[in-house]
A = this chain, B = another copy of it.
Amino acid sequence: MSQLTIEDIARIAGVSRSTVSRVLNGQPNVRPSVRDRVQEVINSYGYAPQAAARQLVMRKTRLIGLILPDNAHHLFGNPIFAEIARGVSQVCAQRGYTPMLFIGRQDMNEATFFSLLRGRHFDGVILISSDRQDRSAAMLREAGMPYVRVGHDPEDDGDLQYVDVDNVAAARVAVEHLIALGHRRIAMLKGLAKDVCTHARLEGYRQALAAAGLPFDEALVGDGDWTPASGYAWTRRFLDLPEPPTALFSSNDMMVAGVVRAVQERGLTVPDDLAIVGFDDLLQTTMIFPELTTIRQPCVEMGTCAAELLLDQLEHNRRERVQIILPTALIIRQSCGYCRQAVQASASAPAVSGEEQRAG
């Protein structure tokens, strides 16, 4: 039951290895009655071909590696990656591949990681990383492993194919929304400096301010690290300013949890004392009170896109440069104060709560 080989199945079914192999791989030129008999033997013995032997001759594993950012707290803590993984998984399943996630790359030295890649465990890899310091992309190239990246670095054109969003434009839309609501002092929470998207989102913030003729105030920019704790700490500092901000744009939704806590601790409320727009649109944060206005990233679609690209690369040997920028959307809920204001002012604008507006 445990160590059956194709040879055993062949003997039991009274045919040759070749015939069993043909049945296994759904190839033609097998008499239906023989095919059924072989299939029955396979099923009743619970036989499945040993992957290693198959790989050796086929030079394919039909396994796709998924590499997430090194930071483990992000990794699972932030559902954005789960969504991307879901997209990847859908496409893979549909096209007969199995995606696997590298766990704990940080526990592994570079040499080990490299051998893992060179060992050809995977036909290809999807790399989710906007981390400029991350050596993964370089190692993937060095190892000759086909990959598609989710996220990219405009200063590094080493990635043949990537999928990303326009972080600059998305952030600009978010901040413009706050400006349109009348805010003049708008704080900004940055993510980690090592992540490229941090700089892009800051740039969007600057552009929105500049376009509205508002000054850029260094004191209103907080050096966050994507975690709620950093959102909490910076918001306290913002609220302690002689002239505190009336609005805040956070580079991700997770930090907003800390922002809200800091605001409430002072006995203040959102959005009246601080209007907030986030980034990501995590499902979880619908439990933040009030509901969060945020930039939705098309996470699942980023995953499906990346997977389609990768599998095309593998199956049709497509090697041209492909760079896909997917659209984001500003999702207006309560935390920015838009809806309240619309009611108060009896504005002619239609109700847009929960509706989507294209950004970028």
Contact = CB atoms under 8 A, between A and B. Distances in A.
Interface of A: 1-2, 46-56, 61, 63, 66, 72-73, 75-79, 81-82, 85-86, 88-90, 92-94, 98-104, 107-108, 112, 114-121, 142-144, 228-229, 231-232, 254, 257-258, 260-261, 264-265, 283-284, 286-289
B99 A103 contact: yes
A60 B73 CA distance: 31
B288 A261 contact: yes
A116 B98 contact: yes
Contacts of A287: 228-229, 231-232, 257-258, 261
A117 B229 CA distance: 41
Contacts of A116: 98
Contacts of A264: 264, 289
Given A90-B107, A229-B286, A287-B229, A119 B261 contact: no
Contact of A93 (B98, B108, B117): B108
A121 to B, nearest CB: 5
Contacts of A254: 284
A51 B264 CA distance: 55
A114 B56 contact: no
A189 B291 CA distance: 23
Given A51-B52, A98-B108, 14 more contacts: A51-B121, A52-B56, A52-B120, A72-B86, A75-B82, A76-B79, A90-B104, A93-B104, A93-B107, A98-B102, A100-B100, A100-B101, A257-B284, A264-B264
A114 B46 contact: yes
Contacts of A85: 76, 103-104
Contact of A89 (B46, B47, B103): B103
Contacts of A90: 104, 107
Contacts of A261: 287-289
A70 to B, nearest CB: 12
A108 to B, nearest CB: 6
Nearest to A231: B287
4 closest pairs, A vs B, by CB?
A89-B104, A76-B82, A48-B118, A51-B119
A92 B104 contact: yes
A48 B102 CA distance: 19
Contact of A283 (B51, B55, B73): B73
Contact of A52 (B55, B112, B114): B55
A63 B65 CA distance: 13
Nearest to A107: B93
Contacts of A288: 257, 261
B142 A66 contact: no
20 contacts: A2-B144, A48-B118, A52-B52, A54-B119, A56-B56, A72-B82, A73-B82, A76-B81, A77-B79, A77-B284, A88-B103, A88-B104, A89-B104, A92-B107, A93-B108, A101-B103, A229-B286, A260-B289, A261-B288, A261-B289
Contacts of A107: 89-90, 92-94
Contact of A115 (B48, B120, B289): B48
A335 to B, nearest CB: 13
Contacts of A104: 85-86, 88-90, 92-93, 99
